[in-house]
Amino acid sequence: MCYIVALVVLSLPVRSAIAEIDAPDKLKAAYILSFAKLISWPQDVLPSSNTNLVFCAAATESLINELRNYSGKVIQGHRVQIVALGKRGDSLGCHIVYIDPRYSFRWFERVERIRGQLWVGGEEGFIGKGGVINFYIDGEKLRFEISVEHANDSNLDISSRLLNLAKIVGRVEEEGKQ
């Protein structure tokens, strides 16, 4: 049932989703929550149900507040915890890191990808900088692209349900053609 709800949210046009969800930050927060339901982390990174699933955001206060609405929810047996990163790039202990475009130049100058982290952003070139999932607008719809290569580098297992909804970018797409 959770997967059906996630798939519906992920396929909504921006205009109708905004009418139901109220604001773009609410929509992004709902997507990020849905991503967490469809990704598996390595056992040593997210070992037991006693371990929190930590969402970190270098983002606007509005998006952080929307993510905080999910604080305490349980995903895959893990309680959601929200951490605001602000402008700093300290993401140790985070499982999902949302990097707002206004912070990404600082972020990518100082931080290397940490194994087991899902980096999500919303700017042109985000995947090329090392991101795993990137939001973009296609007509009136909020869409996302995924780098399977970067997910593999981070030891993340992305559900085929999520991959089927995404635009796949990077080398892995080319390797599949061989």
CATH code of domain 2-175: 3.40.50
Mean pLDDT of 8-32: 62
What are the sequence ranges of the domains in the chain?
A: 2-175
Contact (Cβ atoms closer than 8 angstroms) between residue 67 and residue 75: no
Q: Mapping DSSP to helix (H, G, I), strand (E, B) and coil, where does residue 170 land?
A: coil
Q: What local confidence, expressed as pLDDT, does residue 15 receive?
A: 44
Is a pLDDT exceeding 80 seen at residue 174? no
**pTM of the predicted structure, to 2 decimals:** 0.82
Is a pLDDT exceeding 80 seen at residue 17? no
List the structure tokens of 171: 């080398």
Is a pLDDT exceeding 90 seen at residue 25? yes
Q: What local confidence, expressed as pLDDT, does residue 102 receive?
A: 86
Q: What local confidence, expressed as pLDDT, does residue 23 receive?
A: 45
